[in-house]
């Protein structure tokens, strides 16, 4: 009887291990030719804290979700599809003698563990280039911009980061990364970034995003198994991008502030809600034998069901304190209600961004 019980236990252990894709190991048959890569997508994030109205959002919660995802799959990349430097109340205030102007966003996103961003139009809100340059220099993540260039009187060049230890690092048009799973399946992933040209400043020059996308996709597809795009475009243009370049598996977009997902041929086009009220978790599964990619996307609500990541929460608290003290010095209470409305105002993004309403035009 003891032998039978032991045999049954052994069979159950073997069956449970073989049926769980998360428990692939090099010792269980070697490379199976299939690999999964995850993307945690945000876009249009202007606030570091949860919204006081409904307690949604909050970058400390996103940081906690990121750690959960990485624990399940180390091949997880966290991206932000443009617009985060401006606007915000904190950004208008002064700290250490200077306007904050997005410094709080970069510091929190560094703590969160952000990997890649594409420039958005709001990255070009400030007239002085030094504000944007300071934010780039402070960041630990990679900025992508295939169709935006730094412009002088007689020259153009790629944006760059001044490194803390000396030297500079180009903000690339695209990048490649090699990913490998536990059983040895390995692929090369390519990503490029393009954006709209509405952030007009004398020190930036834009090329046509369609031409830049085509050029970068052509360069990446020669050396990559999978190509994805990080964009800050209108959704109609994101769909055009996916239709024109059908080999792109996933378009992670920004600029539109309401969550949406579209399938264009074999490509997925996705945008989350602004201010990290939601995020998208994309699981890209690639089969090396068939050379095919499939994408499964899940919209995740960012609310009190997610814990705060302690390290990120500490940075958020620092900037909340700076905000409150700065406002208090000017006679404002950041917590005190300004007015109690007798009737609700429709402040949904889909309304206030596109039509006249009681909340403003």
- The predicted pLDDT at position 353 comes to 67
Q: Token pair for residue 227?
A: 């190509």
What is the spatial distance between Cα 81 and Cα 261, in angstroms, rounded to a whole number? 14
- The predicted pLDDT at position 345 comes to 80
Burial track 102-116 (b if 16+ CB lie within 10 A, e otherwise): bbbbbbbbebbbbbb
Pairing label, strands 186-195, 226-232: parallel
Q: Do the beta carbons of residue 269 and residue 239 sit within 8 Å?
A: yes
- The predicted pLDDT at position 22 comes to 45
- The predicted pLDDT at position 346 comes to 75
DSSP label at 357? B
- The predicted pLDDT at position 88 comes to 96
**What are the boundaries of each domain within the chain?**
26-352
- The predicted pLDDT at position 25 comes to 45
DSSP label at 309? P
Q: Token pair for residue 70?
A: 């990485």
- The predicted pLDDT at position 72 comes to 98
DSSP label at 2? H
Mean pLDDT score of the chain: 92
Q: Within 10 Å of residue 188's Cβ, how many Cβ atoms?
A: 14
Q: Which of 208, 211, 270 is nearest to 239 (CA)?
A: 270
- The predicted pLDDT at position 289 comes to 96
pTM for this predicted structure: 0.90
Ramachandran region, residue 57 (left: φ > 0; alpha: ψ -120 to 50; beta: rest): left
- The predicted pLDDT at position 145 comes to 97
Q: Token pair for residue 155?
A: 């020259």
Question: For 8-21, how does the pLDDT look when each residue is reduced to its tens digit (9 = 90+)?
Answer: 444 444 444 444 44
- The predicted pLDDT at position 1 comes to 45
Q: Give the containing element (helix H, strand E) for 38.
A: strand 34-42
What is the residue-wise DSSP string for 212-223? HHHHHHHHHHTT
Residues of the chain with pLDDT below 70 are: 1-29, 348-350, 353-354, 360-361
What is the spatial distance between Cα 360 and Cα 99, in angstroms, rounded to a whole number? 27
What is the spatial distance between Cα 276 and Cα 316, in angstroms, rounded to a whole number? 14
Place of tokens 């202007």: 46
What is the spatial distance between Cα 280 and Cα 252, in angstroms, rounded to a whole number? 9
Q: Do the beta carbons of residue 317 and residue 107 sit within 8 Å?
A: no
Which residues does 260 contact at the CB level (< 8 Å), separation at least 6?
A: 235, 270, 271
- The predicted pLDDT at position 28 comes to 53
Q: Within 10 Å of residue 299's Cβ, how many Cβ atoms?
A: 15
Residues 26-352: name the CATH superfamily.
Metallo-dependent phosphatases (3.60.21.10)
What is the spatial distance between Cα 341 and Cα 344, in angstroms, rounded to a whole number? 7
């Amino acid at each position: 009887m003891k032998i039978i019980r032991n045999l049954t236990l052994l069979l159950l252990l073997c069956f449970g291990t073989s049926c769980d894709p998360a428990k692939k190991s090099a010792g269980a048959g070697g490379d199976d030719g299939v690999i999964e890569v995850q993307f945690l997508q945000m876009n249009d994030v202007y606030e570091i804290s949860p919204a006081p109205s409904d307690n949604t959002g909050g970058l400390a919660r996103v940081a906690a979700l990121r750690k959960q995802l990485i624990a399940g799959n180390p091949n997880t990349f966290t991206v932000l599809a443009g617009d985060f430097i401006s606007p915000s109340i904190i950004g208008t205030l002064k700290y250490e003698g200077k306007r904050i102007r997005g410094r709080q966003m970069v510091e929190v996103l560094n703590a969160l563990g952000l990997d890649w961003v594409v420039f958005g139009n709001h990255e070009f809100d400030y007239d002085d280039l030094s504000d944007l340059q300071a934010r780039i220099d402070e960041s630990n993540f990679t900025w992508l911009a295939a169709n935006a260039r730094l412009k002088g009187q007689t020259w153009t060049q790629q944006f760059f980061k001044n490194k803390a230890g000396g030297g500079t690092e180009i903000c690339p048009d695209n990048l490649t990364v090699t990913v490998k799973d536990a059983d040895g399946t390995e692929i090369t992933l390519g990503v490029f970034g393009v954006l709209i040209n509405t952030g007009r400043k004398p020190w930036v020059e834009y090329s046509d995003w369609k031409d830049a996308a085509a050029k970068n996709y052509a360069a990446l597809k020669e050396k990559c198994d999978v190509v994805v795009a990080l964009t800050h475009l209108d959704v109609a243009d994101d769909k055009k991008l996916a239709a024109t370049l059908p080999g792109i598996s996933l378009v992670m977009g920004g600029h539109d502030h309401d969550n949406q997902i579209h399938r264009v041929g074999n490509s997925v086009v996705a945008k989350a809600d602004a201010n990290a009220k939601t995020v998208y978790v994309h699981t890209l599964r690639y089969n090396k034998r068939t050379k095919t990619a499939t994408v499964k996307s899940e919209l995740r609500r960012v609310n009190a069901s997610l814990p705060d990541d302690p390290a990120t929460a500490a940075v958020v608290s620092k900037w909340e304190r700076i905000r409150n003290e700065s406002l208090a010095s000017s006679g404002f209470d950041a917590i005190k209600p300004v007015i109690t409305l007798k009737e609700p105002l429709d402040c949904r993004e889909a309304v206030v961004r596109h039509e006249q309403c009681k909340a403003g035009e």
